Amino acid sequence: MAPTATAPAAPAPAPAGKKIAAPQHPLDPPSQAEIALAADTMRPWLLKTGIKAFKFVNIYLQEPSKASVIAAGFFPAGATADSAAVSAAAAPIERLVNVHIIDAITGEGYESVVRLDAASDKAEIRSVEKLPEGVQPALTIEELCMAEEAIRKDPRVIKAAADVGITPEQLYADGWSIGWDQRFPGKRIQQCLTFARFNKDENLYAHPLDFAPIIDNNTGEVLAIDFPPHRKNGKLPGSTAPPTAGFECSERARIPPPLEKHDYLPELANAGPFNKDEKITMRTDIKPLHVEQPEGVSFKRTGTGLIEWQKWKMHIGFHPREGLVLSTISYNDTEAPGASAAAPKERPLFYRISLAEMVVPYAEPGYPHYKKFAFDVGEYGLGYLSNSLSLGCDCLGSIEYMDGIVARHDGTAEVIPNAICLHEEDAGLLWKHTDYRVGGRAHNVRGRKFVISMVCTVANYEYGIYFSFHQDGNIELEIKLSGILNLYMLDQGETPAGHGTEVAPRINAHYHQHLFSLRVDPHIDGPLNSIMETKIEPSPYAAGSEENYAGNAFTAPTRILATAGEGVRDACADEERSWTFVNENLKHYSSGKPIGYKIVCDKQPRLHAKPDSFTGLRAPFAQHHIWTVPYNDAHRYPAGLHVPQTLKAPEDSIVNWVGDGKASIQNKDIVSYITLGTTHIPRPEDFPIMPAETVRLHLKPIGFFARNPALDVPATADKKSVPAQAGTSSGAACCA
């Protein structure tokens, strides 16, 4: 992207009454006042440049370099860091924000960097770049919400709805990014998946419609109406390529929507498919279960997002794109060399962890369903779509919340109250042993975990994101998928033809995948790390041989992945293949192996779309299970910074960071992108609303600690626990 030839604007003062304050931590997200100041700083430049109508798409922190954050003392450099290099990186940390803007008339995009100065309450434009033609920033909340308003005004859409018995007031739509559509080059567009809603709050997804308008996000104009073809005798008629005209290309009659109600709200839901005339009866046999912490919580929060809990220390940030961002994660080790209980050693583990991207490709080959492969991070933004969490509902116990702040089209900052939840949970058994000998003792220690969570709604789907820190040094990520399946209609007698499940009469839930890219920036006791691969290998020697007489032998050979090319790897269940972030410069005192943290993931499906499919070309990160590349401050998102309407992964994406594969990743500052997720073959039980399905990943210490780091967790006997029938028995002793 070539910079626009403009001189930096003169510093602009902070908006009246909104003095900006210096952040307590350099990774704190921009405040409301900072977002407003950045927008106010850009407006004069935009007007001077001749851009009369514009919308702000994104305003977020441009994080300072990792080296400068470490040099400033916000994260320990680690035992193997080069102290001279750390000192050389010391410099004042500037407060910079990225601003993404769209010219609402021409559709051209711009990205700028604005420097904020709390000391003077002023800001200045550091740089402005015009995006290349066709490059589109993320879709916005306003654009997604505009979809329904736009289609309800269009005479062609009104007629299309009326032809199947739907009035404009009953017409609803989910706006979706469209991938790429060759019919509308250069336009910023979205596709509208349409539904009918006949009563307030009813489940509109139970009534999918047989057409999909395409709208211009800048003008609100309906550019086309697509009518998906339906199968005749199990086969799609004609080509699956985009139609050049509307209904005439679908080779079918119009199809009225399914009208049967399938509600999930208690006051609307009926008793089931065989008792449609009865309302659902809510269960009455659930007794209260309370979480109490009479002495308060065990964690400490300083400033906006600095957290300390049970030897852990970390910074929690909120990003409009990634949602939860965990940074500067360290552990106070009392048993490290030279440390003690009174003087623990703060050992760095990970500089930054976040969900950097995800893609949701659908399996239906018919047009336009193959254009449903949303990048929920890059095209929409998990932070932008985050929920305000409710006390006692989304989190239980003693809760502390953090707000999220995002920019809107007019440059104002909107607060999402309670976007992030911080709390503790019982984690079940931490460790236990019973000496079975006569007079032997039993010792049982229950664990606790510190949970950082958010929930976001992306159209029909909900994603609950939970990062948990455990007392044994484990870090856990849980992604809980819920909400409502993306649904389309079937004609009378039509079947899903192997690409979906008919979850209710004439309602088709297409097969699909959810593939997440977790970005992990390791700093295992220092900046120079490697990625080690382990496999389980049965002995090559036959049973009865001298080397393997009983036939039971196996080994766990390891190898260091030396280059970025070698760092592109896939899981293998037969080998139980795994990867570990290691510091080869430090060895465990007993095992002699390098200290590290192992990646343990329960679900790593392959991308089932072809490598040269639309999904494969735009989301190459999903084609492999782990990518490891040299660290670069500017490299963050594996499918690129600007994702909507790309034809393939852009230059700033993971395949180009790997390049020719020759760059060294051994004993270097590295970053890994881990692909995890699930292949969803919908069940009838997933309808009308999905029970949460969970995808998990752990980062587990392996040789990082001298021994079990949870030996100092005290055993506790909960005095509130009672026999289940206490107070209701006849009084007879149970062991008389």
What amino acid positions are annotated as catalytic residues?
376, 461
- Is the peptide bond between 714 and the residue preceding it cis, with omega within 30 degrees of 0? no
Structure-token pair, residue 733: 């002793």
Closest of 556, 595, 562, 597 to residue 577, by C-alpha: 556
Q: 280: number of CA atoms within 13 Å, CB side?
A: 14
Q: How far, in whole angstroms, is CA 325 from its chain's centroid? A: 10
Closest of 27, 23, 22 to residue 521, by C-alpha: 27
CA dihedral 719, 723, 727, 731 (to 10 degrees): -120
Helix residue spans in 486-603 (DSSP H): none
Q: 252: number of CA atoms within 13 Å, CB side?
A: 22
Helix, strand, or coil here: 155?
helix
Tell me the residue type at 615.
Answer: T
Contact (Cβ atoms closer than 8 angstroms) between residue 20 and residue 14: yes
List, in order, residues 6 or more apart from 479 with CB less than 8 Å away.
Answer: 355, 463, 464, 465, 466, 516, 676, 694, 695, 696
In whole angstroms, how far apart are CA 578 and each of 325, 479, 536, 698? 25, 20, 9, 12
Size of the chain, expressed as the number of residues it contains:
736
Question: What is the phi/psi pair of residue 154, to 5°?
Answer: -85, 125
Question: What is the phi/psi pair of residue 16, to 5°?
Answer: -55, 130
In whole angstroms, how far apart are CA 315 and each of 156, 240, 301, 309, 606? 52, 49, 10, 12, 33
